[in-house]
């Protein structure tokens, strides 16, 4: 089994499983596999063979040559053309960086802080939101997950509640993850310096479209200059709304004001109330229409699998076939996908698409059975 496929299968439960013991085991496997991945990229013997093959110029196929060039490049970017003591330093630091990155993601996923508010403190939030919250006597229990945070920051008219929510949300895992970030910043700078780069940004951007930090700074500077007038006008509008609604305030927007007053602006200026609009877009209807759209655009057929093996209630599974009679694959099974839409404790907290098993490595229209 290829390393990437093995990692996908063993690491996936850490992002979605409702069983903490399984998530912890998956995280431990992820750390071990990440360390192995670093070791694999530090194989000097493999690098020397690939590099010799590239120098001989015997690889002529454009795709093969591109792969070989990129592979040799990545080996060099790991320091494999440098003395052993430098390679050892890079390997040690990269393993530590890999472990820290996993710890950061785990801490964020396992975060489960809850806040308690009275109904008065949640003034402005619709009943359908409040009715879904857990209650503790006369208090509503609000988590720091997106489906709770965003409505509170956007709709709650009590500024102290928004302030509490915003501060708690942006302070998640502060006791653990700040130290991780600080150490990662140092390690990245050290690795970049060891490999001969001025900084981590220069190292990363070398193989990206921007190529160097100066290009990024220029792009952002030009973009900022063009957007500044629009930002100034927008801020004046929002501050005017706040001043009208809170005459005793100075009208200046805070970090917890933006979403709330933008929503009011949308209602007043554009007559657009997203709470009304969302009633016309229930999740099942939206998802069904999206599938129909992709079926039409990509000539596919999606079929929901009945009683699939799933890791949590509510997860759905679909097969994907080429539409019969069209294209060279003529109704062939193309693969499967799962849909896991809603948040829960321990689940990865942001939009994501995880590969569970690699797809076909050879989709030759003349030989559609070659997988």
pLDDT for the residue 358: 76
Inter-residue contact 15 to 347 (CB < 8 Å) = yes
> Going by C-beta distance under 8 Å and a sequence separation of 6 or more, which residues neighbour residue 167?
256
From 3.40.30.10, 3.40.390.10, 3.30.560.10, 3.40.50.1580, which CATH number describes the 283-339 domain? 3.40.390.10
How far is it, in rounded angstroms, from Cα 333 to Cα 300? 10
Residue 210 token pair: 């921007």
Residue 77 token pair: 């970017």
Inter-residue contact 201 to 213 (CB < 8 Å) = yes
Ramachandran area for residue 346 (φ above 0: left; ψ -120 to 50: alpha; else beta): left
pLDDT for the residue 191: 97
pLDDT for the residue 317: 96
pLDDT for the residue 345: 84
Domain boundary assignment for the chain: 3-110+174-217, 114-169, 223-274, 283-339
- pLDDT above 70 covers a percentage of the chain that reads 93
| CA angle, residues 310, 313, 317, in degrees to nearest 5 | 45
pTM of the model: 0.82
pLDDT for the residue 371: 43
Inter-residue contact 152 to 142 (CB < 8 Å) = yes
pLDDT for the residue 1: 36
pLDDT for the residue 169: 96
Query: Half-sphere exposure of residue 252, counting CA atoms within 13 Å on the CB side?
Result: 2
pLDDT for the residue 346: 85
Q: How many residues are there in the chain?
A: 371
How far is it, in rounded angstroms, from Cα 340 to Cα 356? 13
pLDDT lower than 50: segments of the chain: 1-3, 361, 365, 368, 370-371
Residue 38 token pair: 């670093």
Q: Which strand (E) or helix (H) includes residue 319? A: strand 316-322
How far is it, in rounded angstroms, from Cα 63 to Cα 45? 23
How far is it, in rounded angstroms, from Cα 165 to Cα 153? 7
3-state secondary structure of 320: strand
Q: Which strand (E) or helix (H) includes residue 303? A: strand 300-304
């Amino acid at each position: 089994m290829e390393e990437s496929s093995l990692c996908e299968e063993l690491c996936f439960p850490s992002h979605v499983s409702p069983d903490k013991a399984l998530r912890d085991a998956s995280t431990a496997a992820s750390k071990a596999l990440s360390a192995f991945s670093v070791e694999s990229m530090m194989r000097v013997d493999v690098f020397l063979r690939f590099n010799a093959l590239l120098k001989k110029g015997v690889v002529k196929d454009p795709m093969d040559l591109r792969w070989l060039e990129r592979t040799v490049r990545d080996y060099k970017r790991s320091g494999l053309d440098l003395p052993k003591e430098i390679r050892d330093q890079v390997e040690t630091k990269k393993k530590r960086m890999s472990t820290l990155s996993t710890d950061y993601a785990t801490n964020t996923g396992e975060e489960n802080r809850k806040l308690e508010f009275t109904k008065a403190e949640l003034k402005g939030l619709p009943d359908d939101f409040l009715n879904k919250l857990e209650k503790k006597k006369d208090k509503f229990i609000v988590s720091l997950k997106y489906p709770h945070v965003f409505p509170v920051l956007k709709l709650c008219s009590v500024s102290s509640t928004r302030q509490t929510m915003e501060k708690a949300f942006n302070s998640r895992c502060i006791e653990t993850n700040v130290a991780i970030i600080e150490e990662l910043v140092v390690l990245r700078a050290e690795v970049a310096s060891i490999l001969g780069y001025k900084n981590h940004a220069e190292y990363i951007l070398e193989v990206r479209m921007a190529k160097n930090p100066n290009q990024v700074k220029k792009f952002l500077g030009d973009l900022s200059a063009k957007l500044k007038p629009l930002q100034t006008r927008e801020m004046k509008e929002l501050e005017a709304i706040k001043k009208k609604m809170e005459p005793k305030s100075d009208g200046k927007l805070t970090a917890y004001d933006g979403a709330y007053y933008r929503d009011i602006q949308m209602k007043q200026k554009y007559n657009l109330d997203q709470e009304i609009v969302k009633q016309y877009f229930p999740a099942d209807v939206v998802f069904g229409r999206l599938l129909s759209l992709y079926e039409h655009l990509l000539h596919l057929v999606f079929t929901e699998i009945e009683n699939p093996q799933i890791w949590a209630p509510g997860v759905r599974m679909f097969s994907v076939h080429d539409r019969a009679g069209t294209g060279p694959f003529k109704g062939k099974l193309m693969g499967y996908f799962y849909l896991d839409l809603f948040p829960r404790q321990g689940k990865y907290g942001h939009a994501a698409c995880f590969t569970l098993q690699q797809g076909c490595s050879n989709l030759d229209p003349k030989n559609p059975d070659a997988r």
